Structures are given as C-alpha cells and as structure tokens.
Amino acid sequence: MTTQTTAPVPAPAGAPARGAAAPVIRAEAVSLVRDGNVLLDSVSVTVRSGEHWALLGANGAGKSTLLGLLGAVNHPTRGTVEVLGRTLGRVDLRELRSMLGHVDPRHPLRSPLSVREVVLTGLTNSIEPVPRWSPTREQRNRAGTLLETLGMGGKTESRWPALSQGERGRTLIARALMPEPRLLLLDEPATGLDLAAREQLLDSLDALREEHPELATVLVTHHLEELPASTTHAMLLRGGRCVASGDADEVLTTDLVSDCFGHPVRISRTDGRWTARAHRAARR
C-alpha cells in the first residue's frame, strides 16, 4: 500500500503564522504629509496581542506621529491603518478611541481629585467626576487592584496636586486601563522623571504586562534606558522612515541604532535592560 504525502499549502504573504495572535494594530505603507512636510513615509507595522513594542528615534523622527495614527488620533495621507479590526476612515474615531488606553504625561488634569477618583475617570473618559454617576464596587476594586500593580496602592486617597511626576504617570496608566483595553499606548512615559521614579515606572510596566498577558502595548521614547525589560519588539525611525522593525534583540543592535541616530553608539543588554554608550575610536 502506498501512502501519499501532500505538501502543505503555503500561507499567503503577510498572513500570520499558525497559532499567532490576531493583530491588534495593522498599519500598511502609511504616510502622513502636513503642510507639505512628510512626517511619515511608507511605514508598516503589525502589533499582536501580548506584544510590547518600542518606537525609537531622534527628535522629529516620526515616533509620536505614528503613535497618533495607531491611537486613532489622526488619519494617514496614504496607506491603511486598522485598529482592533476597524479601519480608520470607516469608523467613528470617538468610539474607537474609547476602546484604547492612551497615556500622555502632559495630561490636562488639574482638579484636586484623589488618586482613586482620577483612575475612575477612565471609565467616563472625562477629567472631572461625572454628575450623578457612581462607580460600582467591582469598578472601585479594579481601580485599587491596578493601583497596587503599578505601585500606587498606598496612595489611593492622596490628592492629584500632591503627587510627584512619576506618581502621576503611574496613576494615568491605571486610569487608561480601567476600561480593560486590548491596547495601551504610552507617549514618552518616563519624560522628566528622576532615576528612582523612572525605575519604579519601568518595574510597574513589567508587572503590569505579566499580570495582563493579552495586553498589547506601544511605547515611544528617545532613550533605550527607558525601555522595560519586557519589551518584545522595536521599530527604529529616522526622518519619518522605518530603519528597522521586528524582534527587539534583532533591532536594538549597535549597527542599527547607530544608523538610526546618525551617531556611533555601543549597545549592551544586562538583566533584560538596554543601554547605549557613545562609541569612541581607539586612541593611538
């Protein structure tokens, strides 16, 4: 008896590998032109559930511009952006934004709310308590759990004006996670933090990602030292174009980062964290 073996049919180009998580974000050849200036030029990226991406590059590289497209803040001039299976241009942006967690350390909140109250405003997408709205016990418990994960468990009744910048950043991350989004976008969350506050923030992000394995995140920064150890993927941007994109260990290399920033640096990784140092030629 002869056994016939059938060769497997190859997957279409661009199709996810078998068993791969479904895309949370898919941007295909997106460009953004504003006032005649090319801010992004044919950039593509796919972010899947459980992946943690870093967008790196010098000032003006296009990092925050790309994050704005991924967060449904802007439309591309060319190309396609799908967020949570919805295509920009064919969906109500306000509805889509309510399904994302977007953290900007320059948040306009000014009111003397307590930390817990600030986090709960994430459910109403407001910066003030909504009249006649009261959170359920489950929602209050969720706020407390998120604050514990982010190292703010002892500050739940502290007032917003009394918080340090690092404490505010961690509170805003908890706020963004209240609606249980599948995607969390972080725009330079370590900006202006001192060493201790930065390390507390990065430890909190690592803990958050461990406790929520389905969550996908995209983090913008200028500095490799501001990347959590749990970073899985990276994209390097220069002048609005992608220099490299993929697994973090394959992208965050001495050659590629030096090319991206236009300056020779030496990249190393210790205990999961990256550092960059200027590469000096040997003296004769």
Instruction: Read off the pLDDT band of 9 (50, 70, 90).
Output: very low
Q: How high is the pLDDT of residue 2?
A: 42
Query: What is residue 226's three-state secondary structure?
Result: helix
Structure tokens belonging to residue 193: 């933090």
1-10, 38-47, 124-133, 275-284: range with lowest mean pLDDT:
1-10
Instruction: Read off the pLDDT band of 12 (50, 70, 90).
Output: very low
DSSP one-letter code for 257: H
> Is the overall model pTM greater than 0.75, yes or no?
yes
Q: What percent of the chain has pLDDT above 90? A: 62
Q: How high is the pLDDT of residue 6?
A: 40
Q: How high is the pLDDT of residue 284?
A: 54
Q: How high is the pLDDT of residue 3?
A: 40
For residue 269, what are the β-bridge partners? 274
Instruction: Read off the pLDDT band of 15 (50, 70, 90).
Output: very low
Backbone angles phi, psi at 65, to 5 degrees: -65, -45
pLDDT at 207 over 70: yes
Query: What is residue 259's three-state secondary structure?
Result: helix
Around 166, how many Cα atoms within 13 Å sit in the side-chain half-sphere?
16
113-127, 144-158, 235-249, 263-277: range with lowest mean pLDDT:
113-127
pLDDT at 161 over 80: yes
Q: What percent of the chain has pLDDT above 70? A: 87
Which superfamily does CATH assign the domain made up of 21-100+182-277 to?
P-loop containing nucleotide triphosphate hydrolases (3.40.50.300)
Backbone angles phi, psi at 55, to 5 degrees: -105, 115
83, 76, 73: which is closest to 39 by C-alpha?
76
Question: Average pLDDT of 265-283?
Answer: 85
Question: Who wins on pLDDT, 136 or 281?
Answer: 136
Question: Average pLDDT of 158-165?
Answer: 89
Structure tokens belonging to residue 11: 């997957």
For residue 237, what are the β-bridge partners? 242
Q: How high is the pLDDT of residue 267?
A: 95
**Cβ atoms 116, 163 nearer than 8 A:** no
Token pair 């959590």: residue: 228
Q: How high is the pLDDT of residue 278?
A: 86
Q: What is the DSSP string of 25-38?
A: EEEEEEEEEETTEE
- The residues of the chain that CATH labels 3.40.50.300 are 21-100+182-277
pLDDT at 63 over 50: yes
Question: Average pLDDT of 143-163?
Answer: 92
Angle at 173 between CA 191 and CA 269, to 5 degrees: 55
CA distances from residue 49 to 115, 190, 194, 248 in whole angstroms, order as listed: 29, 23, 31, 16
Structure tokens belonging to residue 26: 């898919």
